Amino acid sequence: MNFFAIFTGFQKAALLLGFVVIGLFSAAPVQAQQTPAASPKSEIQSSLTDLSNLYKSEIERLEKRHEQSQQLYNDGLISRVDLEKGEKELSDARAKVEQITRDIAAANQPAPGLTPEVVSELAAAGNQVWTTGNAKIDNLIRYYGGQYGVDPFLIYCTMSQESSFTAGATSPKGAQGLMQLMPDTAARYGVTNPYDVAQNIKGGTRYLKDLLKMFNGRVDLALAGYNAGEGAVMKYGNTIPPYNETRNYVRLILKRYTTKKQVS
């Protein structure tokens, strides 16, 4: 075999190896795309489980500290007040574990489907003419509503009830910005500055989207979850929690959302 034949054979082998390598790299993204995304409900269940584990670890820590405090109290080195303070912290931690255990059980229950009454109410919504009075905010509502598949008018109605379109609003409970995101919710959706209108609207819209998915499109339950937390809705059997604030909140937003009128 001459040198030219050897060189030609080497070229063919290298070319074939290149096709194999390219094929492997091309297949990788396809396989990654086939991995199903976790549903909002499964994410909530996972979050609750992680939180339960944290609470259990906290109980172990407090139990050890309480044993030490009991010995110090017996030796007269700390007061009864200090001992009882530790006992209360331990009791509160155990109560949290019990509550989150109930929340996990509730999360495993399926959400009810749309009732005829809710369907009838939502059918009246239609296309609404609305404005917050700020073109930038209006455009962001429409943009993120379209991006995440949430009716922009629902975002508008929720924002109106939450903050009256005040970007710098802060509630006594610590909710922040136009969509009144609590710090934990903001962190959950990657909102680093809740007073930035774009970040806030994006985070609030994503939260509404997940709540709507979680409760099978039930706008009333999604709004209840937005106000009281999805855990509270699940705790009461996927119904609106019996809190006056939450029920009034849902009623007011639905009344506006399902009433055909122009918003000036």
Whether residues 97 and 148 fall in one domain:
no
Q: Active site residue: 84, 162, 230, 245, which one?
A: 162
Residue 76: pLDDT over 90 = no
Query: pLDDT tens digit string along 190-230?
Result: 999 999 999 999 999 999 999 999 999 999 999 999 999 99
The mean pLDDT value for 160-189 works out to 95
User: What CATH number did the domain enclosing 208 receive?
Assistant: 1.10.530.10
Instruction: Report the C-alpha gap between 113 and 171 in whole angstroms.
Output: 33
Amino acid occupying residue 115: T
Report the domain count for the chain.
2
Inside any domain, residue 26: no
> How large a percentage of the chain has pLDDT more than 70?
70
Query: CA-CA distance, 11 to 17, in Å (whole number)?
Result: 10
Task: Determine which of 53-67, 96-110, 147-161 has the lowest per-residue pLDDT on average.
Answer: 96-110
Cβ neighbours of residue 148 under 8 Å, at least 6 residues apart? 205, 206, 208, 209
| pLDDT beyond 60 at 14 | no
Give the residue, 208 or 27, on which the prediction is more confident. Answer: 208
162 in active site: yes
- For residue 211, being part of any structural domain is answered with yes
The residue from 54, 78, 107 where one domain ends is 107
The Cα–Cα gap between 216 and 109 comes to 13
Phi and psi, residue 170, nearest 5°: -135, 125
- The average pLDDT across 105-124 equals 56
Note whether residue 121 is domain-resident: yes
pLDDT of residue 264: 36
Let me know whether 157 and 176 are in one domain. yes
Shared domain for 59 and 91, answered yes or no, is yes
Confidence of residue 112 (pLDDT cuts 50, 70, 90): low
**Domain hosting residue 47, numbered range:** 40-107
Average pLDDT score over residue span 237-252: 95
Beta bridge partner(s), residue 176:
170, 181
The pLDDT of residue 30 is above 80: no
For residues 100 and 131, membership in a common domain is answered with no
pTM: 0.55
Q: Does the pLDDT of residue 34 top 50, yes or no?
A: no
DSSP letter string, 206-239: HHHHHHHHHTTT-HHHHHHHHHH-HHHHHHTTSS
The listed range with the strongest mean pLDDT (10-24, 57-71, 124-138, 195-209) is 195-209
Same domain, 48 and 121: no
Single out the residue in 107, 131, 156 at which a domain terminates. 107
- 8 Å CB contact between 158 and 257: no
Measured at the CA of 102, the angle between CA 245 and CA 109, to 5 degrees, comes to: 85
What is the distance between the alpha carbons of residues 200 and 180, in angstroms, rounded to a whole number? 8
Provide φ and ψ at 168, rounded to 5°.
-95, 15
Same domain for 157 and 47? no
The Cα 204–Cα 158 span in angstroms is 9
Extract the tokens encoding 63.
């139990």
Better-scored residue on pLDDT, 146 or 107: 146
Confidence at residue 6, expressed as pLDDT on a 0 to 100 scale: 44
Instruction: Scan for tokens 């019996």, then name that residue.
Output: 242
Residue type, 36: P
Range 32-57 average pLDDT: 62
Assigned domain for 207 exists: yes
Specify whether 128 is located in the same domain as 245: yes
Distance CA(222)–CA(58), nearest Å, equals 32
Q: Is residue 27 part of a domain?
A: no
* Residue 143 and residue 251 in one domain: yes
Flag whether 7 is in a domain: no
Q: Among the three residues 83, 107, 131, which one is the final residue of a domain in this structure?
A: 107
Question: Is 205 within the bounds of a domain?
Answer: yes
| Residue 192: strand pairing partners | none
Helices (H), the chain: 3-33, 40-74, 80-107, 116-123, 135-148, 152-163, 183-188, 197-214, 219-228, 230-235, 244-257
